[in-house]
Amino acid sequence: MYGKIKKLICCLIVLFSITAMIPLQASAMPDPITGGAYVLMDAETGQVLVEKNMDQKLYPASITKILTVLLAVENLNPEAVVTVSSDATILDKDKYSDSMHIALTSGENIRVEDLMNATMIESANDAANCLAEAVSGTNEAFALLMNERAVQLGAKNTNFTNPHGLPDENHVTTAYDMAQITRFAITNDAFLKIFSTVIYDIPPDNKKTEVLTISNRFSMLKKNDPTYYEGIVGGKTGYTVPAGYTGVAVAKRGDKTLIAVVMGSTSGANRFADLKTILDYGFNNFVRTSITTNNVKPTVSQVIENDKIVATVAINPASDMYYLRHSSVSESEILFTTDIKDSYSWYDINPSVTLTVPDNTYMYSNIGSFELTHTEKQLTNPIPVQGSVNEDDNKNEKDKVVKDKKPLPTGLKVFLIIIGSIFILIGALVILFFVSNARRRKRDKLRRLRRQEMYEKSRREMLAAKENAKK
């Protein structure tokens, strides 16, 4: 009996040893994700954590409106009033009359702020049209602006033809591009407020007599909804037949803010399930890992101007540099490739480090490229570049550089002059404010004294009149 127990224990130990050497698949991205393309991105650095077909051009549907509202926020006064044109309305267009709208009619006057909230929260296509016309005059002109801004925000494969995302074979983007656009959009406080709003009231106007209350269609924001996600910041949904169900979600937990984008999900419920699965994968499995001098050794580079070494710069990681690492991937597996030149010009000091990880189940291999910091260190005895001058010139230049300090760069001088002028202007305005305020207080005091004198005089005259009446 004892022998059998001993054999069983030995078998269990061997089995445990074998399974311990097999990577756990529980932390890898679970299947299935119904969306044909998705991406999970760190909102601060832009690092892609996991993806599938993230660069595939697809129809976005109404997640297009993230860029529409961002451009409206950047270019319009929220208190401005817009008059709805006949071109902006949806009700009169048979092709789109059953799409999302807030029943705007030609000639209706409505505030820009109401249009922005209607576009994001209600996904109103007529409101998106109005914003486009208010910014650029026409949808066509606005589409050009959208594409220009998308490129500025890091989009690589986007071409928008309208502000709302209704079907157009040339209206395409990618999961990666939408994550990049959203990443920068949420840095705008005015946009973020709209992006995270759950309920909004549109007041009456010249055509409507009642308040219109709209509720966000992105149900992950609603605490009483089964799809509510802890830490959710905001999001946007979309749907058309060609696009399927699309969605963008931003959530923050602890020290991580993540952006999930899914395109081509098979149903509305699956879209939210996909977004939750992707976000959970990021929050549950990735840890914030600092980039330190242990990863990138401090390096010294020369600064050369006019064929002379005029200074050196010490190059090292900034104190707040980090990346997100899957807990199943050790720090030793991350590859650090530095791009640090032996010499720079004053205006071209741009050292960087690129982080990658060999292909594995858990992380996207290209972690990202980060700019390193540099600290100027003046040489005590700069040496001209070899071969650039003869020996006599070399000696003279050495003596000259030892005696003379390096002059400030022209760009720095201009910057200091501008800063100084700004401070002088601010100081003058502050002095003017206090002088004006003192004069105002003096005038107010004189007025109060005059009023008091008039009151006292009137009171004396009234008392005198009463005395005379008694007599």
Q: Looking at the annotation, which residues are catalytic?
A: 62, 65, 123
Residue whose entry in the numeric block shows the structure tokens 């699965």: 277
For 247, the token pair is: 């969605």
| Amino acid at residue number 172 | V
Q: Residue 32's closest CA among 358, 329, 267, 326?
A: 267
3-state secondary structure of 116: helix
| 413: helix, strand or coil | helix
State which H helix or E strand residue 312 sits in: strand 308-316
Angle, alpha carbons 137-140-145 (nearest 5°)? 80
Amino acid letter for position 307: D
Distance CA 18, CA 345 (A): 56
How far is residue 291 from each of residues 17, 253, 353, measured CA to CA in Å?
34, 21, 10
Let me know if 79 is exposed, middle or buried by CB neighbors in 10 A (0-12, 13-18, 19+).
Answer: exposed
Q: How far apart are CA 119 and CA 293, in angstroms?
A: 47
Q: DSSP state, 33?
A: -
Q: By C-alpha distance, which of 233, 268, 275 is closest to 250? A: 233
Is the previous residue joined to 32 through a cis bond, with omega within 30 degrees of 0? Answer: yes
Q: Are 160 and 143 within 8 A, CB to CB?
A: yes
Q: Where are the alpha helices (DSSP H) in 217-360?
A: 268-285
| Residue 313: alpha-carbon gap to chain centroid | 31
Question: What does the DSSP 8-state code read for residue 407?
Answer: P
Q: How many CB atoms lie within 10 A of CB 124?
A: 27
The three-state (H, E, C) secondary structure of 139-199, written as one string = HHHHHHHHHHHHHHCCCCCCECCCCCCCCCCCCEECHHHHHHHHHHHCCCHHHHHHHCCCE
Element (H, E) at 458: helix 410-470
Q: Give the whole-angstrom CA distance, residue 320 versus residue 313.
A: 20
